[in-house]
Amino acid sequence: MLIGNEPFDTCLQRANEVVEWGGEPHCQPFLPKDALDRHDYVIRYDWTPDKLTHFARYYNRWLYKYTPMAEYRCGTKQPFAIL
């Protein structure tokens, strides 16, 4: 599932639909074809590099099965606390 090329809410809705259908989403941040580094993000809409990383980490590590997104933490960061 490609993330970062649409607003956050749209990507979140798509990921939740995949989970509802019984699938397991694998999220990949949008990168341009000419990116020389994986951190060459094109920041669009309401995304930040941290938000892209944590969104992908939340779904790719199947954390959605164990904890709500609003309670997700990575170290001291709580990137989705306002959801």
Q: What is the pLDDT of residue 19?
A: 92
Per residue in 28-82, pLDDT (tens digit) is 888 777 777 766 666 778 888 888 888 999 999 998 899 888 888 877 777 776 5
Mean pLDDT, the chain, integer: 83
Contact 63, 54 (CB under 8 A): no
41 close to 49: Cβ distance less than 8 angstroms: yes
- Contact call for residues 25 and 62 (beta carbons, < 8 A): no
SS3 letters for 15-62? HHHHHHCCCCCCCEECCCCCCCCCCCCCCCCCCCHHHHHHHHHHHHCC
Q: Note whether 29 and 56 are within 8 A (CB).
A: yes
